Amino acid sequence: MKTVAILSGKGGSGKSTIAMHLAVAAERRGAPVAVLDIDPQASAATWKDTRADEAPSVTSLQPSRLAKALQVAKDAGAVLALIDTAPHSADAAIAAAEAADLVLVPCRAGILDLRAIGATARIVKLAGKPAFVILNAVPPHAPRLIDDAREAVKAHGLEVAPIVIAQRAAFAHALTVGQTAEEYEPGGKASEEISALFKWLRSTLVF
């Protein structure tokens, strides 16, 4: 089983959105997933409560139970675990990073968001795990903004994932009804971006 920690020290970066979309993308492609929600706000678990489908599995838990939950997920046949973390909780972020094979750092392209990833970059380096920043909720048709954001990320010593997730209404509408963009608007731009992101993740982790 491969484990991905989704970290960001800033609220509103899109951690839960990325976690839920990657989880459903995996399940739709035959890869059983466990989402472990260690954020006290339990956004992923709340989304699951509104979802008609049984998959993916979403468990809300304390960070201290993370190792046990990962073992349970592995024993249940999950090939991918996604850890959805809380902002402003360094201890939980460190625990998630240490348990992960790969760290994803969702980040908006605004200057305040880009400056805020410094703390997350330090956690990643402390854990010694590979990590990629996902530029998220980026205004469509903003190539200069994306280029500037990539340069800002590199200043923190992190790599940028090749897939950019744009700001699209389909993401918000889908989550409201317990779905993801691939389910809510198949073939739409949001669906295409998530499909590309999952394809990249799968090839990177090889699962």
- The sign of the dihedral angle between the CA atoms of 1, 75, 14, 85 is negative
Q: Are strands 102-107 and 131-135 parallel, antiparallel or unpaired?
A: parallel
Does 84 score more than 90 pLDDT? yes
Q: What is the rounded average pLDDT of the residues 198-207?
A: 97
Q: pLDDT per residue over 173-189, tens digit each?
A: 999 999 999 999 999 99
Q: What is the rounded average pLDDT of the residues 191-204?
A: 98
Three-class HEC string of 11-31: CCCCHHHHHHHHHHHHHHCCC
Per-residue tokens: 57? 């599995």
Q: pLDDT per residue over 6-18, tens digit each?
A: 999 888 899 999 9
Q: Where are the domains of the chain?
A: 2-205
- The sign of the dihedral angle between the CA atoms of 140, 121, 124, 44 is negative
Q: pLDDT per residue over 18-71, tens digit each?
A: 999 999 999 999 999 999 999 999 999 999 999 999 999 999 999 999 999 999
Q: So what's the pLDDT on residue 112?
A: 87
Query: pTM here?
Result: 0.96
d(CA 199, CA 133): 16
**Which CATH number applies to 2-205?**
3.40.50.300
Q: What is the rounded average pLDDT of the residues 119-139?
A: 95
- Of 125, 87, 91, nearest in space to 106 by CA: 87
Query: Residue 19 in 3-state DSSP?
Result: helix
